[in-house]
Amino acid sequence: MPMNRAARIAILVAEEAGRRGATIAVVDVCTAAVAALPVGGAGLSAMSPTVASYPLCSTDDISEQLEELQLTLGEGPCMDAFTRQTSVSTADLRGGRAQVRWPVFASAAAEAGAGAVYSFPLQLGAIRPGVLDLYAPTPLDLSPDELADAMGFADSATQVLLGTLTARREGLTIGDGDAPDGYRAQIDQASGMLTAQLGVGIEQAFLRLRAYAYAHGERLSAVAAAVVDRRLRFPPDDEPDRTA
């Protein structure tokens, strides 16, 4: 059976981290995406509906400028990708549609050296920590397969931010791994329950669930099952927030 897309991408990301001699970070997702796709650079911004967004990383000067331009101007494909939670493809930034949608950004981005921009939201239900942007110096049409890969890189960035990326290959295991997702529904349900138990947002609830599993050496799915079965509760003030 051929290796699935997520596993292949996780290994590419892990290899970038290995090359840096560091643990996996979102910059490795960006670097791996640029190596795997016909794009010039990648950048990632942490975004939130409630607090100010900020750039997390970028692979070159142009992608850095693109991230900062959008966050400063408050317009651009990454803003749209975040608001609508769908990917936004702009194969030609100088085209009329881009100019109409983002009059200021489109010109500034072209000036900075971008010809095409593709933005992919990071998402896990209501958890949406940011957006991955890819740019090419000249107009570029990504193929359906390349787009699927790009969405796969966005998924891996979500997993890096949530601490759940697992890469496994001969002689290489990164991340703590979890049950193949037979019990995914319970993890999502438990995260939802913890928002009410702890009075926190969904992303924080997920991180608390994961931190508990890590601290107790248990599988995330096992901890989630205990929460859903009401065998485990997270009192709001009982233990310090280890994920802060």
CB of 4 to another protein, least distance (A): 4
Report how far residue 14's alpha carbon sits from residue 130's, in angstroms, rounded to the nearest whole number: 20
Report how far residue 224's alpha carbon sits from residue 184's, in angstroms, rounded to the nearest whole number: 9
Report how far residue 236's alpha carbon sits from residue 79's, in angstroms, rounded to the nearest whole number: 33
Asked if 188 is part of the footprint of another protein (rule: CB under 8 A), the reply reads: yes
Per-residue contact string for residues 133-152; x = within reach of another protein by CB under 8 A: -----------x--xx--xx
Helices (H), 50-183: 61-73, 77-84, 96-101, 103-112, 144-162
- Indicate the residue among 52 and 196 with the shorter CB distance to another protein: 196
Asked if 86 is part of the footprint of another protein (rule: CB under 8 A), the reply reads: yes
Report how far residue 136's alpha carbon sits from residue 121's, in angstroms, rounded to the nearest whole number: 18
# chain residues binding another protein, by CB under 8 A: 39
Report how far residue 205's alpha carbon sits from residue 197's, in angstroms, rounded to the nearest whole number: 9
Asked if 235 is part of the footprint of another protein (rule: CB under 8 A), the reply reads: no
Q: What one-character DSSP code corresponds to residue 181?
A: S
Report how far residue 232's alpha carbon sits from residue 186's, in angstroms, rounded to the nearest whole number: 13
CB of 105 to another protein, least distance (A): 19
Asked if 123 is part of the footprint of another protein (rule: CB under 8 A), the reply reads: yes
Q: Which residue in the set 21, 49, 235, 240 belongs to the binding site for another protein (CB under 8 A)?
A: 49
- Indicate the residue among 67 and 203 with the shorter CB distance to another protein: 203
Q: Which residue in the set 85, 168, 218, 241 belongs to the binding site for another protein (CB under 8 A)?
A: 85
CA atoms within 13 A on the CB side of 240: 2
Q: What one-character DSSP code corresponds to residue 128?
A: E
Q: Using DSSP, state whether 172 is helix, strand or coil.
A: strand
Stretch that binds another protein, among 79-87, 100-108, 130-138, 163-171 (CB under 8 A): 79-87
Residues in contact with another protein by the rule CB under 8 A: 4-7, 49, 84-87, 123-127, 144, 147-148, 151-152, 180-186, 188-197, 201-202, 228
